Structure 1
Amino acid sequence: MNAVLLHYAGYIRSFSKVNGQVNAEAEDYVKQQPIAAQFKFRYDR
């Protein structure tokens, strides 16, 4: 998961800008979504 977040770090930072400045809360929220999604995925199938 860390490799994915590092790969997309520039995109995440770019899309988390509000009025031209990086919004840290928005950036953290975007990073948390794929982490939360992996726990919903069923690996037993």
Structure 2
Amino acid sequence: MIRVGLIGDYDQEVKAHEAIPLSIELAANDLGYQVDFEWIATP
């Protein structure tokens, strides 16, 4: 299992914030890994 912290304030209106987790999942699936990610808000 690979754990990834996505640093920043998640905003579903930002296209990259939608695309990044999807890209991580697709890459992990292609490589045969399981991935868990979490958005970590910044102050």
**TM-score normalised over the length of structure 2:** 0.43
Report the structure number with the largest CA radius of gyration.
1
Using CA pairs under 8 Å that are at least 6 residues apart, name the structure with larger relative contact order, 1 or 2: 2
TM-score (norm 1): 0.42
Higher strand share: 2
